[in-house]
Amino acid sequence: MSVIKYDVRRGAYYDSVVLMQLQRGLIGLAGVLDAGVVMATPANRDLLAANNLLPNSINASPDDMLIVVKAENDPSATEAMNQIDVLLARRRSSVSQDFRPRSLNAAAKQLPEANWVLVSVPGRYAANVAREALEFGKHVFLYSDNVSLEDEIALKKTAREKGLLVMGPDCGTAIINGIGLGFANHVRRGPIGLVGASGTGLQAVTTHIHNLGGGISHAIGTGGRDLKSEVGAITAHQALDLLARDSETEIIVLISKPPAPDVATKLLAAAKLTGKPVVIDFLGYPPPARKIGNLHFATSLIEAAAMATQSVGVRNSDSENQPLPILNYYLRGLFSGGTLAYETMLGLQATLPSLYSNVAITENQNLKDPLHSECHTIIDLGDEFFMVGRLHPMIDNDLRIRRMRQEAADPEVGIILLDIVLGEGSHVDPASELAPVIKEVHNQKIEVVAIVIGTDDDPQNLQSQIEKLKEAGAIVFRSVTEAVNYISMRLGQNVKNDFPPVNLEQLKQPFAAINLGLESFYESLTSQGAQAIHVDWRPPAGGNEKLAALLTKMKK
């Protein structure tokens, strides 16, 4: 019968490489069946239990190292326990660096050209290390997780003020000037620049681009929470701005899990104004269309890579890359078709804030009173609300004509959007009834955009309907997608960056960095030919939190 023995090392700091190496060392000993070496967090204790490695009674806190050995018999278990200190002592750094500075300060003096600091120390220490790096004027690649949202926001706000980037926390990857940071694939250099919230998403897309024959200028990680409302995509906005200014970047790819809607709208509005094709894959975000102006929406990581690679060398038309002058007025869409109204909402919400409707997609788009528009508004006039004892607006134009006049009387309105659905059952000549009002509205300097849905075989005569609408002054499109494309380019926020730009020249200098935490990241940098220095970082007071608090108090 097997025997389990354990040891608890109280309140001492061991990095995760030490834990792994000790565990492997123990498993390699004669007579040992299995072993677990972990910080005694609830999750890790559960994991030990799942592997039948949890001793019955155990007194250990999350700050303690827990060492468990399962052996064939008692002597083997005892012998293994005796080997712990030997194995811990045998653990030797593989870092070949001659002199190992003990602090960021010392490292910065040793390698003054280092503009970057890689932080992969345990989460509870990471924010302080990152803060120190920002104070030294360095960009931060923050691999550590278990960093609080509050710390993330504070760090990013500080960084933004200084024109510095904080990539992370929980940022797994980045490629700066050809050098991979953290986890990163070896990819060709080229004209595609990426901004990615998450690690493996960015790795997958850069890898796919390389495999498709394309190349990468820079790939900037932001951490998974950057696109939450609370953080407001600080790093993503900085990165987008940086790649927009970078002459080597021709195409930008933006990857993330679904961002908060308000954050998405602002980020897409900023992307719209970059003047470069931007491929977007917000995983799980309903794409408003394949393409809105210079924004191209992908539905998967591999498709994002394919779209970016295909766009290389394809000169986009000026009209795509040079956004129309932003019209600082409101849109009012008056629809007879519910689904057409809905698809319009879907398209517009991507880049248009303050959008309201009686066919709202999100709750905050709900129009309080369907009879009165607010800001940008899309109304489905065929909604049940309007339909009791009344003919459908596709048969009877009265309601829509009255509403057009109502909207035109609002001095904040700049565009009125209509759908005109032809075919059996519909009004025999809607254009003739609508044209006089369109003319009237058009004369008030309001653009009228009409989406005409119909075929050349429809009873109304498609061509003459279109002609009548155009003669009255309407801009006519034949699908929602085209109309949304036009309006999205015409309206929206004129996003001005209210932060100091990140220095582009610094980004292009030979990469040099200071590394704190995982030694393998240091090794990876040097193997790629980058200049790097590894700090022999230890937590304050050796990880003893009470002592650390005391030390902090004494310093004051």
Binders of a copy of itself in range 299-358 (CB under 8 A): 299-303, 336-340, 342-343, 346-347
Which segments of 10-138 are extended strands (E)?
32-39, 65-71, 116-119
Give which of 394, 545, 391, 365 is closest to 458, Cα–Cα: 394
Residue 77: enclosing H or E segment and its boundaries? helix 74-90
* CA separation for the pair 168, 165 (Å, rounded): 9
Indicate the residue among 248 and 396 with the shorter CB distance to a copy of itself.
Answer: 396
* CA separation for the pair 212, 306 (Å, rounded): 7
Q: Rule CB under 8 A: say whether 289 interacts with a copy of itself.
A: yes
Identity of residue 480: V
CB of 220 to a copy of itself, least distance (A): 15
- Among residue numbers 101 through 140, which ones bind a copy of itself (CB under 8 A)? 122-123
Indicate the residue among 423 and 540 with the shorter CB distance to a copy of itself.
Answer: 423
Indicate the residue among 127 and 495 with the shorter CB distance to a copy of itself.
Answer: 127
The stretch among 97-105, 206-214, 317-325, 503-511 that binds a copy of itself (CB under 8 A) is 206-214
DSSP conformation class of 363: G
- Among residue numbers 506 through 535, which ones bind a copy of itself (CB under 8 A)? 518, 520-521, 524, 527-528
Q: Which two tokens stand for residue 441?
A: 């509205």
**CA dist list (Å): 417 to 54, 67, 152:** 67, 69, 42
Give which of 76, 64, 80, 75 is closest to 25, Cα–Cα: 80
Identity of residue 421: V
- Among residue numbers 239 through 278, which ones bind a copy of itself (CB under 8 A)? 255, 257-258
Q: Rule CB under 8 A: say whether 385 interacts with a copy of itself.
A: yes
Binder of a copy of itself out of 363, 384, 498, 505 (CB under 8 A): 384
Binder of a copy of itself out of 208, 228, 237, 376 (CB under 8 A): 208
| Residues 6 or more apart whose Cβ sits within 8 Å of residue 284 | 257, 258
Instruction: With CB under 8 A as the rule, give the number of residues binding a copy of itself.
Output: 117
Question: 378 and 415 in contact (C-beta within 8 Å)?
Answer: no
The stretch among 82-90, 313-321, 384-392, 534-542 that binds a copy of itself (CB under 8 A) is 384-392
How many other C-beta atoms are found inside a 10 Å radius of the C-beta of residue 129?
21
Q: Which two tokens stand for residue 303?
A: 């498709």
Binder of a copy of itself out of 6, 183, 356, 537 (CB under 8 A): 183
The stretch among 68-76, 202-210, 241-249, 434-442 that binds a copy of itself (CB under 8 A) is 202-210
DSSP conformation class of 323: P
* CA separation for the pair 251, 192 (Å, rounded): 5
Q: Rule CB under 8 A: say whether 481 interacts with a copy of itself.
A: yes
Question: 206 and 232 in contact (C-beta within 8 Å)?
Answer: no
Q: Rule CB under 8 A: say whether 544 interacts with a copy of itself.
A: no
Indicate the residue among 33 and 504 with the shorter CB distance to a copy of itself.
Answer: 33
Q: Rule CB under 8 A: say whether 394 interacts with a copy of itself.
A: yes
Q: Rule CB under 8 A: say whether 177 interacts with a copy of itself.
A: no
Q: Rule CB under 8 A: say whether 73 interacts with a copy of itself.
A: no
CB of 8 to a copy of itself, least distance (A): 13
Indicate the residue among 283 and 326 with the shorter CB distance to a copy of itself.
Answer: 283
Q: Which two tokens stand for residue 137?
A: 């004027």
The stretch among 78-86, 180-188, 316-324, 430-438 that binds a copy of itself (CB under 8 A) is 180-188
Give which of 320, 345, 328 is closest to 417, Cα–Cα: 345
CB of 39 to a copy of itself, least distance (A): 3
Residue labelled with tokens 């490629």: 175
* CA separation for the pair 159, 353 (Å, rounded): 27
Binder of a copy of itself out of 10, 12, 43, 409 (CB under 8 A): 43
- Among residue numbers 409 through 438, which ones bind a copy of itself (CB under 8 A)? 419, 421-426
Binder of a copy of itself out of 83, 115, 185, 493 (CB under 8 A): 185
Alpha carbon 48 to its chain's center: 35
CB of 371 to a copy of itself, least distance (A): 5
Give which of 447, 436, 420, 429 is closest to 471, Cα–Cα: 436
Q: Rule CB under 8 A: say whether 58 interacts with a copy of itself.
A: no
Binder of a copy of itself out of 28, 62, 213, 510 (CB under 8 A): 62
CB of 181 to a copy of itself, least distance (A): 8
